[in-house]
Amino acid sequence: MSKYWSDFVGTLDPYTPGEQPANTNLTKLNTNENPYPPSPAVMEAMRCAVNDDLRLYPPPNADLLKQTIADYFQLTPAQVFVGNGSDEVLAHVFNGLFRQAQPILFPDISYSFYPVYCGLYAIEFNKIPLAEDFTLNLDDYRRANGGIIFPNPNAPTGRLLALDAIESLLQENSDSVVVVDEAYIDFADANASAVSLIDQYDNLLVVQTMSKSRALAGLRIGYALGSAHLVEGLERIKNSFNSYPLGHVQLAAAVASFNDRDYFEATRKQVISSRELLVDQLETLGFEVLPSAANFVFARHGAYLGADLTRSLREQNIIIRHFNKPRIDEFLRITVGTPEQNQQLIAALTELVG
């Protein structure tokens, strides 16, 4: 508290990100980063972008990147919004689309940044409990609302909601915006993405990030895809906030990443197959693992507390994420690493619970 703060600052309850330790000897499986480096083509594009043009402001509308993303998803550039990480895109979504008369809805267990944005923009919300098995029950969303948002696959559970269920939500809520936060969708089956529904439903906004499947968390690039009028609303917010959220180097990297499909496919598939092996090994050790369509798994062991296992792993220089929250405090959220990192984790857990 400081006497210089506005009263409002004191009311905020900011998000706490997962730890980014200074010690690089740790096996870091706590924040769902990609275990592989960015594509070599991305590295080269960034090197080329480091030139005298850095004295110039970047293109304010990121036209080349929007065109590249539009081509990739078979949309038009007017259906693409880009921002400084999907967290910034989400902030503009809450500010520009969710400040409505009715409360917005999201699952009780989902991305913990959502209630933080509600605090920042004074948005009322209702947390809708997931079912016992952590699936989303459509019936619970049949009520007046000012918008709906959920991650798909969900975080931190990893569970995927099928496209026909998303379509029902869109049809039943045609007067509000339904936002699908697809931070992890590239680790799910092909065709799981709601992007294919955009041309049919003008109340759908899909948010994606280059932080996870494209190994660019450190560059901060996210985007939203939806009908042109939703994107235009977001542009109005963005141009009232920061005209240049993405710099020359970010833009060059992002374009190169979308253009290198082979590297993207190879690393994405490697993470998926490592996840399947990790799930088998955890189950062999007696863990219950929720079905995951993401680059992490959510698992609990009936005989050991989540907090204790997390602490014991940390003593062996392996960091994972534990949420000290109702319903999920028994669970460990483990990011899928390289095969070597995953083996290290399994070896440590075998000592602890085997």
Ligand X SMILES: *Cc1c(COP(=O)(O)O)cnc(C)c1O
CB closer to ligand X out of 156 and 301 = 156
- What single-letter amino acid sits at 291? P
Q: Which two tokens stand for residue 265?
A: 């496919």
The yes or no reply on residue 217 touching ligand X (CB under 6 A) is yes
| Contact between 121 and 95 (Cβ < 8 Å) | yes
Exactly one of 146, 151, 158, 337 binds ligand X (CB under 6 A); that residue is 151
Which is closer to ligand X, CB of 68 or CB of 208? 208
Nearest 5 degrees, angle CA 161-CA 164-CA 170?
95
Q: How many residues bind ligand X (CB under 6 A)?
A: 12
Q: Is 145 or 209 the residue whose CB approaches ligand X more closely?
A: 209
Single out the residue of 33, 181, 186, 260 in contact with ligand X (rule: CB under 6 A). 181
Please report whether residue 215 would count as binding ligand X according to CB under 6 A. Answer: no
* Contact pattern from residue 68 through residue 87 relative to ligand X, giving x for each residue in contact according to CB under 6 A and a dash for the rest: -----------------xxx
Neighbour count for residue 264 (Cβ, 10 Å): 17
By C-beta, is 145 or 211 nearer to ligand X? 211
Q: Which is nearer to ligand X, 87 or 260 (CB)?
A: 87
Binding ligand X by CB under 6 A: which of 79, 211, 257, 344?
A: 211
Distance separating alpha carbons of residues 173 and 175, to the nearest angstrom: 5
Indicate whether 222 belongs to the interface with ligand X (CB under 6 A): yes
Q: Output the DSSP codes for 201-262.
A: -TTEEEEEESSSTTS-TTT--EEEEE-HHHHHHHHHHHTTT-S-SS-HHHHHHHHHHHH-HH
At its nearest, how many Å lie between ligand X and the CB of residue 3?
A: 33
To the nearest whole angstrom, how small is the minimum distance from the Cβ of residue 106 to ligand X? 11
> By CB under 6 A, is residue 146 in contact with ligand X?
no
Between 155 and 194, name the residue whose CB sits nearer to ligand X.
Answer: 155
For residues 213 and 268, is the Cβ–Cβ distance under 8 A? Answer: yes
**Alpha-carbon gap, residue 309 to 278, rounded angstroms:** 17
Let me know if 40 is exposed, middle or buried by CB neighbors in 10 A (0-12, 13-18, 19+): exposed
What does the alpha-carbon distance between residue 332 and residue 133 come to, in Å, rounded to a whole number?
16
Torsion angle (degrees, nearest 10) of CA 233, 234, 240, 241: 160
d(CA 20, CA 30): 9
- Does residue number 111 form part of the binding site for ligand X (CB under 6 A)? yes
Q: Are 238 and 91 spatial neighbours (Cβ–Cβ below 8 Å)?
A: no
Long-range contact pairs involving 137-143 (C-beta distance under 8 Å, separation at least 24):
138/165, 138/168, 138/169, 138/172, 141/105, 141/169, 141/172, 141/173, 142/172, 143/105
Among 42, 97, 130, 155, binds ligand X (CB under 6 A): 155
Residue 153 touching ligand X (CB under 6 A):
no
Closer to ligand X by Cβ: residue 187 or 287: 187
Q: Which is nearer to ligand X, 85 or 301 (CB)?
A: 85
Within 28-57, the residues that bind ligand X by CB under 6 A are none
Write down the least CB distance from residue 218 to ligand X, Å.
Answer: 9
| Smallest distance, ligand X to C-beta of residue 339, A | 23
Distance from C-alpha of 239 to C-alpha of 61, rounded to nearest angstrom: 10
Candidate list 173, 209, 341, 342; residue touching ligand X; CB under 6 A: 209
Between 35 and 349, CB nearer to ligand X: 35
With CB under 6 A as the contact rule, the residue among 45, 91, 166, 183 that binds ligand X is 183
- Enumerate binding residues for ligand X (CB under 6 A): 85-87, 111, 151, 155, 181, 183, 209, 211, 217, 222
